[in-house]
Structure 1
Amino acid sequence: MFKSLAFILCSVICADGFVANGQILYPISLPRGLTGVATSSPITVEDFGGVGKCCDRLSVTTLAAQGIAELGALPTTRLAPASDHGTKAAPPSQSAMSAAADYSKAHNGQALIVMFDGKVVFERYDNGGAPNRLQMLASGSKSFVGVAAVAAVQDGLLRLDDPASESIAEWKTDPKKAKITYRQLLTLTSGLLPGERGSAIQAPSWKEIIAKPMTGQPGEQFEYGHYQLNAFAYALERKLGRESFEAYLKRRILDPLGIEVEWRFRCADGHPQVGGGAFMTAMDWAKFGEFIRRGGQWNGKQIVRADLLAECFRGTPQNPAYGLTWWLKKEVTTAHLRRIPILAREWGEIANANWLPGDLVAACGAGKQRLYVIPSLKLVIVRMGGLGRGFSDAEFLSLLFQNKAMNK
């Protein structure tokens, strides 16, 4: 990922700015009608799906040399059904939730929903937010891809550790790409170019994306971006035959939950930009989080098997705090933080926080779009807002949990 901030100079119609990637400045253009961009403000380059860069990889070789990596599978963050967590959990106090909402509002927050044990215990909208407003998820969109992937495993369409080249025939003759697995695409460790300037909101076609060059070896580095997830969606769509990835996600996951996603950012061929193009209401995102908290159950029906859903919450040696498209509260080393700027900037403080439950998982996007799921506390928390700076996950969660001292 980029090592500096993206400066977006916003207007009512569009925004133009520059992202510093090393020593090169790249322009970004935001499309007409972008939600939540009303002021001039610097934002992190996770924007709209994120774009990585080659030098920000964390190789297994480097980790092993430092004596801090295990090449085997990492522990999985298992989300047990709410009934397995006992009776000690209680919702945050109203004063704590109000304090967290005030903090969110002060940092351009537009929506905050807290659900406890499946019931809404707090809901507030600020700064132009509203119950029926479709909010930008940015990289929060990625989490749908991981869930769709494990549903596809359940449906017998693919196996996570099989080579994606079984679906993407164009990769069979490339010695590197032929080795990329579905899991590596989903954990952003495939070595495929993660993205390019402006591609998050004006993305090339899926066929163009799969033709992008490799920047590393399959499974040896974590590079944040959206190309790998769009490549996965392309591979799954080939498995689906006449059904599109978008239609499969809707039929298999969204419709059973009674929620809707609007893909406002699309690739050049009309396919959804699955790494950052989704918009939805805060309440629908909360319902998706409740589905995750319940281990893939909804209205008494197991939509996705719990053991398969748990695959989404298994990190990698290259980034223990990132699973199949979900951020995890898994301890990371200083080497990880040094090698992965987005981890250091966006999530490292949470990954290493010993005052937060270990089963916390999250979908995260630019503008600090957040879907936190904490099964042990029976909590689902949605925070959505406009683009801006200054919001801290640790400060927000500290307020929500009654001002618990951070890192205590």
Structure 2
Amino acid sequence: MLRRSITHIAAVALLPTLGACGSEESEPAPLSETALAAVSDAPGAPTEQVARQVDELFTSEDVGETRALVLLYDGEIAAERYAPGYDADTRFVSWSMAKTVTAAMIGLLVADGLLHVDAPAPIPKWQRPGDARSDITLRHLLQMRSGLDHTEAGEIPYESSEVRMLFLDGRDDMARWAEEQPLEAEPGEQFEYSSNTSVILADIAARALTDSSDPETRRAAVANYLQRRLFGPLGMESMVPEFDASGTLIGGSLIHGTARNWAKFGEFLRNEGRVDGAQILPRAWVRAMTTSSPASPQYGFQTWLNREFREPGEERRHPLFPDRAPATLFSLIGHMGQYVMVSPEQRVTMVRLGHSDEAERAALMPQMADVLELYPER
């Protein structure tokens, strides 16, 4: 259970001035009452350092807007802070963090015997004679290597598969639009990050739970399953999933929840699918979620991994920081700087929610690494 002390931290003494080679280093600015109050009595790392690093996430001008931060150490709240206008009851949109929730839902359906990870994906239109998409498996979809012609982003936004599916010609039946796209590569050969793929997984979940094509029946089947098998057992009482007009969960981008509830989901995965001693999601599935796929060392089942790219010297910017945190760290990552970072070796889960553009995220990531580095690896 997540607990937070309401006792304020006593004022911290100023650090002594250090002299070196005839010059003096400037003292760090005194921490504000707000910065100190954000840290618990036992944060698992030096209190002042935790307070200062968290404060920088809220006050540094180059990282964008941090709206919520929840830092857990060994299952307890080490620090928690919100920007003005936000609090512990605010529901934050997931954006692509929803993909990892979708993967957990698929894992529950596999455990229930309703889906099979290495069988052809049960999409009827793909099973027609001569359709090469029949070779796409559930595993391919989970690892973003279906081979479907899905372009997540491009120079012209309204031409991207994601925008067309969410807002233009695919918006009323997102799964149908995503499933109709042709192959551009052999299934399994290449990694291509795709919100369309996550919506296909959500459609597969709905098909596993009901034979009905009625939108309300599909919506209720998935919403009830998520509540009964995942959100309820985890105590994630704030979660609100969104569905399209056909009753398909928008499983790549639209689930809403509080920062604390996102932290609970991270802890659930850190504990390999266990909550209060009960195994909710099979341990083997969580390990599969956090195992590199053959086409992308930095990606598992709808989950980002802190692993180096396959080829040294690649110019792509890594979404995490493999040079500054354990390789076992993994993360839910959402558009504009939503993160649930989970580091099992450090016993840490960190949630940062807010609004940061690409340049701001480049500045944000080192500061988040600074927080994690306060916690030694076991």
1:270-285 to 2 correspondences below 5 Å: 270-285=247-262
1:132-211 to 2 correspondences below 5 Å: 132-164=89-121, 167-173=122-128, 174-194=130-150, 195=152, 196=161, 198-199=163-164, 201-202=166-167, 204=171, 205=173, 206-211=175-180
Check the 8 A contact 2:145/2:190 in 1, yes or no: yes
Check the 8 A contact 2:209/2:222 in 1, yes or no: yes
When normalised by structure 1's length, the TM-score is 0.69
- Structure 2 residue 295 is matched with structure 1 residue 323: no
Check the 8 A contact 2:291/2:299 in 1, yes or no: yes
CA spacing shift, 1:91–1:201, aligned 2, 3 Å: farther
The equivalent of 1:263 in structure 2 is 241
Counterpart Cα distance in 2 of 1:274 and 1:358: 27
The equivalent of 2:27 in structure 1 is none
1:359 deviation in Å?
1.4
Which SS does the other structure have where 2:317 is aligned?
helix
Counterpart Cα distance in 1 of 2:313 and 2:205: 30
Q: How many residue pairs are counted as aligned between the two chains?
A: 305
Check the 8 A contact 2:203/2:248 in 1, yes or no: no
Check the 8 A contact 1:209/1:231 in 2, yes or no: yes
- Structure 2 residue 67 is matched with structure 1 residue 97: no
When normalised by structure 2's length, the TM-score is 0.75
Counterpart Cα distance in 2 of 1:346 and 1:201: 26
Instruction: List, as ranges, runs of 4+ consecutive aligned residues in structure 1 with deviation greater than 6 Å.
Output: none
Counterpart Cα distance in 1 of 2:361 and 2:209: 40
The equivalent of 1:400 in structure 2 is 371
Per-residue CA deviation, residues 26-69 of structure 1 (Å, 9 max, x unaligned), is: xxxxxxxxxxxxxxxxxxxxxxxxxxxxxxxxxxxxxxxxxxxx
CA spacing shift, 1:336–1:283, aligned 2, 3 Å: farther
Counterpart Cα distance in 1 of 2:277 and 2:374: 36
Q: 2:360 aligns with which of 390, 393, 396?
A: 390
1:124 deviation in Å?
0.4
1:199 deviation in Å?
3.6
1:358 deviation in Å?
2.0
Per-residue CA deviation, residues 212-236 of structure 1 (Å, 9 max, x unaligned), is: 2222210011111211111122122
- Find the structure with the greater CA-based Rg: 2
Check the 8 A contact 1:188/1:224 in 2, yes or no: yes
The equivalent of 1:23 in structure 2 is none
The equivalent of 1:253 in structure 2 is 230
CA spacing shift, 1:308–1:336, aligned 2, 3 Å: farther
Which SS does the other structure have where 1:304 is aligned?
coil
CA spacing shift, 1:323–1:402, aligned 2, 3 Å: closer
Check the 8 A contact 1:163/1:180 in 2, yes or no: yes
Report 1 or 2 for greater relative contact order, CA contacts < 8 Å, sequence distance ≥ 6: 1
1:299 deviation in Å?
1.6
RMSD: 2.4
- Structure 2 residue 271 is matched with structure 1 residue 294: yes
Letter in 2 for 1:96: Q
Q: 2:331 aligns with which of 357, 362, 368?
A: 362
Letter in 1 for 2:282: R
Q: Which sections of structure 2, spanning at least 5 residues, go unmatched? A: 1-42, 153-160, 212-217
Counterpart Cα distance in 1 of 2:292 and 2:162: 27
